[in-house]
Structure 1
Amino acid sequence: MSPNLYLKDPHETELGRNIIQQSIALLDELGFEDFTFKKLATEINSTETSIYRYFENKHKLLIYLIDWYWTWLEYRIDHQVSNIKDPSERLKACLLQLTEEKVFDINVAYVDERALERIVSSEFEKTFLTKQVDADNKEGLFMPYKSLCKK
C-alpha cells in the first residue's frame, strides 16, 4: 500500500479501522457519487475533521480501499499457488481465487470482503478516470493492481 494514499495509516488505530469498516458499508450502499465524509462522520459518530486526518479526500479513500482489495487478493493467490509447479494448475488456482465467493476473514474483521468486491466491481474505473491519473500513477497508487496483473 502506497503511503501516498493516506495521511495516517487507518489500520493502526481503532478510529481508522472504524473509518475503513463504515466507508465500505456506505460506499456499498450509496455509491461513490453520493458518499461524503460528512455522511461517514455521522456513521462513525465522529467529525469530518477526524476523517481528513487519515485521508485527503474521498477519491484517495476509494483508491486506498480498492488497493487494499487487490493487495489482499494477491496475498491469497500467492498463498494458494506457492507450492504448485504445474503452470496450468497454478492458473486454475489463480482463477479460483479470483472467481470464488469471498468469505469473512477473521484477521481483518473490520473489512467486509464481499462488500469491498462489489465496490471494486462498480467503482474501480473512478479511481483512474480522472484528470490526475498520471500524477496518481507516478505516486504508485495503482501498484497493487499492476502487481496482481503481472501474476
Structure 2
Amino acid sequence: MQDLLANIKIQVNPKTFVKDPETSDLGKKIIQNSILLIDEIGFEEFTFKKLGEKIGSNESSIYRYFENKHKLLVYLSSWYWAWIEYRLVFSTNNIENKIEKLKKAIAIVTETIEDDCVTEHINEAILNKIIIEEFTKTLHSKQVDEENKKGFFLIYKQVNYRIERMIMDINPEYPYSKSLVSSIIEGALHQHFLKNHLKTITNCNEKVSASDFYVHLIENLLNK
C-alpha cells in the first residue's frame, strides 16, 4: 500500500490555501514545521510569526500560502482525512466479506496512527495527535456553514459516506447509519483524547484500543 500511496498526490480543496504548499520546498517546509509547532505549543499559541521564526523565514512568506492559521488547520485536517480515505480504499477494496470489510474500515479510522514514511515532510503520527486535539476547531466556528458550502469538509464527509455505504450493504434497514458513522469517527478521536488526558472515564488504555471498542460495538449492533 505504501508504494501505491507514494505515487498518489493527496488532493486538498484549493480554497483552503492561497498557494499550494506542495508546489515548493518552502511550502512543504511550512507544512512540516506547522505540524511540529502546533503539536509542541497547541493551536491557540500557534502563530505565523512563531512558525516563521522556526523555519527561518519572514512571517509574510507564510501568508503567501495561507490566509490565516484557521485555513492552515483546515488544510492539515483535509490532508489527513484524504490520507485516511486513500487508506480506506486500498485496504478494503479486495475484502469480499461485508462485515470484515466494515471492521477493517472501522479499525482504520479509529486506530493509533504511525508515520508511514511515504510523505517525508508530513509525519502522520504527529498529525494524528493534532487531529485528536484540534480537529473540532475546524468545525466549531462561526464560518462553518459558509466553509461547508465551499467544500472545506468534503473529504471528511467522503470518509463518513464510504463507511456508511458499508453499513447499508450489511443492513439496509438500519435507520441511523449516518449518525452511527459520524459518532464512531468523532467518538474515536474523543476516546484517544480521554486516554491521553482523562484516563478514568474511558476503558481505552495500553491494552484496550479505541478500535477494539468500536469494532465490538459495530459487531454487536449490526448482528442483532
Which of 43, 50, 60 aligns to 2:71? It is: 60
Aligned: 1:8 with 2:19: yes
Match of 1:150 among 147, 156, 161: 161
In structure 1, give the amino acid aligned to 2:24.
T
Distance 2:22 2:114 in 1: 20
Question: CA-atom RMSD, angstroms?
Answer: 1.0
Question: SS where residue 107 of structure 1 aligns?
Answer: coil
Query: Would you say 1:82 and 2:93 are equivalent positions?
Result: yes
| CA distance in 2: counterparts of 1:11 and 1:107, whole angstroms | 14
The count of aligned residue pairs is 151
Per the alignment, residue 129 of structure 1 pairs with 140
Identity fraction in percent: 48
Q: Which runs of 4+ in 1 moved over 4 A?
A: none
- 5+ residue gaps, structure 1, are none
What CA distance in whole angstroms lies between the structure 2 residues aligned with 1:20 and 1:89? 35
What TM-score, normalized to structure 2? 0.66
What do the CA deviations read for 1:49-102 (whole angstroms, capped 9, x no partner)?
110000000000000001100000110111001111221011121122223332
The structure whose RCO (Cα within 8 Å, separation 6+) is larger is 1
Task: Provide the residue aligned with 1:71 in structure 2.
Answer: 82
Helix, strand or coil for the counterpart of 1:110? coil
Contact 2:16 2:72 survives alignment (8 Å): yes
SS where residue 25 of structure 1 aligns? helix
Unpaired stretches in structure 2, ≥5 consecutive residues? 1-11, 163-224
Larger radius of gyration: 2
Aligned residue number for residue 95 of structure 1: 106
